[in-house]
Structure 1
Amino acid sequence: MNYNIKRSVSLYSYQEEYYLGKLDLEGCIREAAKAGATGIELLAEQMMPNFPYVTPEFKEQWFGWMDKYGTEPTCYDAFLENKIYDNRTLTLREQVRMMERDIKIAGELGFKTLRTLCSTPMDVIKGSLDCAAKEDVKICIEVHSPFSLNSGWADGYMDMILGTGTKHFGFMPDFGIFCKKIPDVLTAKALRQGASPECVKIVNDAFANRVEKGFTKIKYDTNLGRAHGEYVKANGMPELMEAIEKAGGNAADMNYARASFNYTWCDPQDIIDNIQYIYHTHAKCYNTNAEYEETSIPLKEVIAAYKKAGYTGYLSTEYEGNSLLNDAFEVDSIEQVRRHQEAMRRAIED
């Protein structure tokens, strides 16, 4: 059976090489295409000259690159900078204007989806829906760990979708919600920083136990700090920190224990249940080995859910392992993206 699941690359994946000047914007697009992707996800705020102004020269260059490398725009990554002033948060009107600015840029550059962060206030999203409909751009809130679908948090947004009847807002799952193991590159970094094998085992065992029994999901709350605090408490952080302390854990052990709560395991059935509201996907990855296995995320199991659901959108590689390596090693994001694209191809076509 043929599946119409397409593959994209978020240019965030190449942040190490981009920052060091090894790749420019065209180089990132070229490498994504060489890896087998047909879609490009852009961080315009970082990579577009003269942001937030789309110059005629850049627009011509952008679409020229799309033609040259056989790619198309998939998702525009927006960042709602609502704290640009020292003395106040932006007003609702100012935040909506900023969102509308990004929607218009996305539309002008050919993007059909726009990623907004999970911290984006619902009133800002509601206030931007008319602009999204006019530009035919779907606003997608990123379902980033520790958030999840089929949860109180997601229900809050689902109520808004159903209440407004909008076709221009939905979800963007991030594969970080499908971690069955703590990324091995994070574990290795913790050990390099002085964590003890005994404490690392305590943390890993606790994570495995959460996976086995099921995570308590985060609730909807306009106060994200409060929601997160309740989430980690419900999932055993106080008990874990106490166990590390009793084992004589040092600062590196404590940091590793806290970091383990950045990763979540959700049942891939969540994808099937919500597929009609999923318009794009961040295929997060931390380490894809030479056997084309993502070492913390069961890629085949997750992609099988997308196939069963009849998903026809993009899975966009988002490599985030660089920060777990670059304290000691030279990062090769190009190879990691290539491996992950091949791993996804195999899972889709299997």
Structure 2
Amino acid sequence: MKLGVSLYSYTSEFGTTLTLDDCIEDVADLGASGLEILGEAHVENYPSPSTAWIDAWFARLSRWELTPTCYGSWVDTRRGRRPITVDEAVAQLETDIRLASTLGFAYVRPKLGVVTDDLEPDPVWEPATERVLDLAAEKNVIICPEIHWPSVIKSKVVDDYLAFIQRTGTSHFALLMDTGVFQTSMHRRTGGVASRMGDKGGRPPEVPVVPVSDLEDVLDHVCHVQAKFYEIDDDLQDHYIPWKEFLDLLTRRGWDGWLSSEYEGDYGVGRASDQLRRQHALIRTLSDVR
């Protein structure tokens, strides 16, 4: 297994106290070797960065010895007054697959609008994804939708993705597992507009109980892990994500992909940087990672 970081972790500071260079330097400084980005957020003049920006991107990767891992993208199914068409979804997917490939990424995580409370994606996902599989193969990119709380592993969402893999026989579509799926209690973020809210009655949302053992049945189709976390305390304990059980399963199965840290806890200057270091220290004490 290899350790990386998603630049989403620095959301509360990116563009204010931290530049792109600052974030990337911090990732390298904490000893990570993989870098995950969000295309719209982190690519200057998205979706058409200049040649100079692309050259600077690869210079950063070379200087800090970082490998681009996963490129986050969006297919905004609700951007107008009507549902998005398959052709429009295909065009957006093609744009991001081409840009991700240009920037050296192996994985593209498309995020579509959802139609159920457990995050079932808009039905446009299937015909649109099927139409871009040849391009993904040409660009050597794997499309990997995210299994994200409050989705659970034993669900229609995951069943539909696995059925798509079986039906198409593709090797360019897989799953991205977000470890927030395994949270054992709800973290109440403080600060910022993205603070976690309860429902309309003011009650906190219910946390689905997803045993780590459920991962066993789908792990062969998981190409990337977003190592979501909310808080690591001073004793390097995480009271939300069961890291030992999760990492033991990956180790036993010989899974050797990227664990891309995604901090989604409380906001504050320097907090993401500190929490990322705590999480990597915790993971390194529990598993053999590079």
* Counterpart among 95, 105, 117 of residue 101 in structure 1: 95
**Contact (CA 8 Å) 1:76, 1:114: kept in 2 or not?**
yes
1:48 counterpart = 2:43: yes
Q: TM-score, normalised by structure 2?
A: 0.88
Correspondence 1:1-350 to 2 at 5 A = 5-19=1-15, 21-85=16-80, 87-117=81-111, 119=121, 121-183=125-187, 185-186=188-189, 254-255=201-202, 257=203, 259-261=204-206, 263-322=207-266, 326=267, 332-349=271-288
**Contact (CA 8 Å) 2:145, 2:175: kept in 1 or not?**
yes
Q: What percentage of aligned pairs have identical amino acids?
A: 30
| 1:171 Cα deviation after fit | 0.6
**Secondary structure at 1:53 match in 2:** coil
| 1:331 Cα deviation after fit | 6.2
The size of the alignment, in residue pairs, is 275
In structure 2, distance between residues paired with 1:32 and 1:71? 9
| 1:271 Cα deviation after fit | 2.4
Q: Partner amino acid for 1:55?
A: S
| 1:116 Cα deviation after fit | 1.8
- Other-structure match for 2:115: none
Q: Partner amino acid for 1:332?
A: R
In structure 2, distance between residues paired with 1:44 and 1:91? 22
Q: TM-score, normalised by structure 1?
A: 0.73
Evaluate the alpha carbon distance shift between residue 94 and residue 104 of structure 1 in structure 2; reply closer, same or farther with a 3 A threshold: same
Unaligned runs of 5+ in 1: 194-202, 204-240, 242-250
| 1:148 Cα deviation after fit | 2.1
| 1:149 Cα deviation after fit | 2.0
- Deviation per CA, 1:223-252: give whole Å up to 9, x if none: xxxxxxxxxxxxxxxxxx9xxxxxxxxx7x
| 1:153 Cα deviation after fit | 2.4
- Deviation per CA, 1:99-124: give whole Å up to 9, x if none: 11101111110000111226352222
Bigger CA radius of gyration: 1
- Deviation per CA, 1:134-170: give whole Å up to 9, x if none: 1111000100011122333211111110010000111
Q: Partner amino acid for 1:343?
A: L
**Secondary structure at 1:307 match in 2:** helix
In structure 1, distance between residues paired with 2:101 and 2:95? 10
Q: Partner amino acid for 2:256?
A: T
**Secondary structure at 2:32 match in 1:** coil
- Aligned CA-pair RMSD: 2.3
**Contact (CA 8 Å) 1:16, 1:331: kept in 2 or not?**
no
**Contact (CA 8 Å) 1:77, 1:116: kept in 2 or not?**
yes
- Deviation per CA, 1:172-202: give whole Å up to 9, x if none: 111111111222x45x89xxx9xxxxxxxxx
**Contact (CA 8 Å) 1:173, 1:280: kept in 2 or not?**
yes
- Tell which deviates more after alignment, 66-75 or 123-132: 123-132
Q: Partner amino acid for 2:180?
A: G
| 1:35 Cα deviation after fit | 1.5
- Deviation per CA, 1:284-338: give whole Å up to 9, x if none: 011111111222111111111111121111011111113xxx4xx6561110111
**Contact (CA 8 Å) 1:39, 1:72: kept in 2 or not?**
yes
Runs of 4+ deviating beyond 4 Å? none
Task: Specify which structure has the higher proportion of strand.
Answer: 2
**Contact (CA 8 Å) 1:176, 1:285: kept in 2 or not?**
yes
In structure 1, distance between residues paired with 2:79 and 2:181? 30
- Tell which deviates more after alignment, 100-109 or 338-347: 338-347
**Contact (CA 8 Å) 1:106, 1:114: kept in 2 or not?**
yes
**Contact (CA 8 Å) 1:293, 1:299: kept in 2 or not?**
no
In structure 1, distance between residues paired with 2:270 and 2:2? 26
**Secondary structure at 2:160 match in 1:** helix
| 1:349 Cα deviation after fit | 2.9
Task: Specify which structure has the higher proportion of helix.
Answer: 1
**Contact (CA 8 Å) 2:4, 2:261: kept in 1 or not?**
yes
In structure 2, distance between residues paired with 1:291 and 1:53? 45
**Contact (CA 8 Å) 1:272, 1:308: kept in 2 or not?**
no
